[in-house]
């Protein structure tokens, strides 16, 4: 039986292939934004908006700030992947990124990144506040120019100062609601700044070989495990202290205070446990346990910030 088709007439098989290609492309564009990183950023921005408003913020400002913040962070992450595609090819954990596999071209990624940057600025400026839009532009510029291009490949302090980019969603959230920046916003900004090294350095311990192969001077590559463990402890304690500072400055209630103390104590205990395993020379450091604990810790603290604003106790 002949299987020939009429020229110019698409078949179900052709349509299926096009659909598959489109789905693969769409998935690649989503991956370019690093959605898991954006999820964590929005976890800090949303509760901050509730605190800034002293309750439920205006829905229009809330939606615009979240959408604009998502696009802004996605843009910064896309630019980061463009610039880091050479080391992403070397590191095992990043070898499936779309610019490494060739699913997307560099040109496609650039157009996507610039488009999100422009749209995010317009959305934040028109539907939230122009201060939020300006902070969004600053966040993209800092992450791309300061962290990715200047610090990441040159200093072991890369994640400390480069981590400032991850603090911007807090002040963008606050500015998106109020059009101003007040002390509670800066305290939460500082909290994310102090939390970032304690969050990221355990990851650098886990993937030490990857960073070493890519010649990225993460602390976990250049320093011994006990030294990294000490640094994680110091930043974990500093994070806990910063959360407590918000109590008098932000007028936080019992719920937030309890969560800040209990969750912070747990995070510090995990950091001490990591250091203990490091100095004892334990083969399995379980560094990712601290990494995952840090995510849970920050989520709990910011969740308490939002709930405290709704149900002051």
Average pLDDT of every residue of the chain = 92
Is 13 among the domain residues? no
pLDDT at residue 2 above 50?
A: no
273-290 average pLDDT score: 91
Same domain? 85 vs 150: yes
Domain with residue 310: its CATH number is 1.20.120.1780
Same domain? 238 vs 304: yes
Identify which has the larger pLDDT, 205 or 3. Answer: 205
Same domain? 53 vs 187: no
Residue range(s) defining the domain that contains residue 74: 27-180
Q: pLDDT confidence of 282, banded at 50, 70, 90?
A: confident
Of the listed ranges 7-16, 38-47, 290-299, the least confidently predicted one is 7-16
Is 5 among the domain residues? no
Q: What pLDDT score was predicted for residue 1?
A: 43
pLDDT in tens, 83-101: 999 999 999 989 999 999 9
3-class SS shares of the chain: helix, strand, coil, % to 5: 80, 0, 20
CA distance 185 to 189: 6
Q: What pLDDT score was predicted for residue 84?
A: 95
Same domain? 259 vs 138: no
pLDDT in tens, 206-218: 999 999 999 999 9
Is 18 among the domain residues? no
Q: How many domains does the chain have?
A: 2
Same domain? 38 vs 115: yes
Same domain? 230 vs 286: yes
Q: Which residue has the tokens 């311990």?
A: 205
Name the pTM for this structure: 0.90
Same domain? 61 vs 100: yes
Q: What pLDDT score was predicted for residue 10?
A: 55
CB count in 10 Å sphere of residue 89: 14
Is 57 among the domain residues? yes
Look at residues 159, 180, 201 and tell me which one is the last residue of a structural domain.
180
Of the listed ranges 12-16, 67-71, 120-124, 267-271, the least confidently predicted one is 12-16
Same domain? 117 vs 213: no
Tell me which residue of 124, 114, 90 sits closest to 32, measured CA to CA.
Answer: 114
Same domain? 49 vs 158: yes
Is 155 among the domain residues? yes
Is 17 among the domain residues? no
CB count in 10 Å sphere of residue 139: 25
Look at residues 120, 147, 180 and tell me which one is the last residue of a structural domain.
180
Same domain? 176 vs 231: no
Same domain? 236 vs 171: no
pLDDT in tens, 135-155: 999 999 999 999 999 999 999
pLDDT at residue 3 above 80?
A: no
pLDDT in tens, 236-271: 999 999 999 999 999 999 999 999 999 999 999 999
Domain with residue 117: its CATH number is 1.10.357.140
Is 92 among the domain residues? yes
Look at residues 162, 180, 198 and tell me which one is the last residue of a structural domain.
180
56-63 average pLDDT score: 95
Helices and strands, counts by H and E, the chain:
15, 0
Is 20 among the domain residues? no
Same domain? 187 vs 251: yes
């Amino acid at each position: 039986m002949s299987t020939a088709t009429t020229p110019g007439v698409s078949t179900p098989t052709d349509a299926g292939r096009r659909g598959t290609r489109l789905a693969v492309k769409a998935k690649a564009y989503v991956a370019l934004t690093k959605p898991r990183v954006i999820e964590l950023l929005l976890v800090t921005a949303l509760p901050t908006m509730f605190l800034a408003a002293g309750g439920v913020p205006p829905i229009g400002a809330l939606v615009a700030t979240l959408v604009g913040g998502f696009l802004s962070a996605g843009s910064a992450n896309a630019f980061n992947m463009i610039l880091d595609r050479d080391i992403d090819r070397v590191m095992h954990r990043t070898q499936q990124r779309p610019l490494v596999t060739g699913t997307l071209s560099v040109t496609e990624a650039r157009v996507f990144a610039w488009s999100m940057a422009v749209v995010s600025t317009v959305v934040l400026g028109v539907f939230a506040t122009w201060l939020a839009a300006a902070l969004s532009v600053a966040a993209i510029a800092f992450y791309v120019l300061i962290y990715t291009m200047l610090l990441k490949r040159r200093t072991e302090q890369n994640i400390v100062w480069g981590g400032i980019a991850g603090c911007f969603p807090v002040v963008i959230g606050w500015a998106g609601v109020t059009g101003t920046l007040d002390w509670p916003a800066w305290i939460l900004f500082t909290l994310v700044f102090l939390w970032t090294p304690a969050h990221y350095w355990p990851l650098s311990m886990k993937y030490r070989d990857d960073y070493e192969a890519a010649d990225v001077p993460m602390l976990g590559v250049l320093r011994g495990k006990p030294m990294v463990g000490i640094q994680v402890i110091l930043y974990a304690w500093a994070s806990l202290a910063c959360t407590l500072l918000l109590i008098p400055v932000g007028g936080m209630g019992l719920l937030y205070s309890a969560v800040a103390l209990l969750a912070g104590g747990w995070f510090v205990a995990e950091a001490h446990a990591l250091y203990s395993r490091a100095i004892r020379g334990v083969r399995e450091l379980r560094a990712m346990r601290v990494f995952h604990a840090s995510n849970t810790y920050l989520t709990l603290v910011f969740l308490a910030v939002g709930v405290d604003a709704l149900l002051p106790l």
